Amino acid sequence: YFLTYKVDDEIHLVNIDKLKKGEPDFIAELTYLTTEEGGRKGIAASGYRPHLKFEGRKELTSGEQIFIDKEKVLPGETVTAEIRMASPHIFLNYLYIGKCFEFGEGPNIIGHGKVLKVINQSLLQASR
């Protein structure tokens, strides 16, 4: 699997299968939309990698969700998860506790998240 994204008119390509599985970048509370709200029709399993879109940014990145204390989430449920981004370098000095984001599949937003803890200190917004 490959992820492509654009930063300042430059296209980047990441081979997702070869990502290093290190520390997560942050911990978040994730709320999956119900199917009726446009969310998934089935479960999401821990390890799921939808795209992430942060408030105030046009760039997207893939974000692996490792659920804490459960293996599967149904549409409409809320879960706490460790998030490992495919391209954290495009969000340097941008995250803070309480930062909101959306996650989705293609053009479909399937849930909303809120940062609870920033683990990757290079992502932490210093002025907060």
Q: Answer with the residue of higher pLDDT: 53 or 1.
A: 53
Q: Does residue 89 sit in helix, strand or coil?
A: helix
Q: How confident is the model at residue 95 (pLDDT cuts 50, 70, 90)?
A: very high
- Dist CA 28 CA 69 (whole Å): 13
- Dist CA 59 CA 46 (whole Å): 24
**pLDDT > 90? residue 6:** no
**pLDDT > 80? residue 56:** yes
**pLDDT > 60? residue 1:** no
In the structure encoding, which two tokens stand for residue 25, read together? 């970048």
When pLDDT is averaged across residues 77-83 and rounded to a whole number, the result is: 97
- Dist CA 31 CA 39 (whole Å): 10
Q: For position 5, what pLDDT does the model report?
A: 64
Percent of the chain at pLDDT > 90 equals 77
In the structure encoding, which two tokens stand for residue 97, read together? 């506790």
17-26, 51-60, 80-89: segment of lowest average pLDDT: 17-26
When pLDDT is averaged across residues 47-66 and rounded to a whole number, the result is: 94
**pLDDT > 50? residue 18:** no
In Å, how far are 8, 19, 20, 70 from 23, measured between CA atoms?
28, 12, 9, 19
Question: Please, what sign has the CA dihedral across residues 63, 90, 119, 112?
Answer: negative
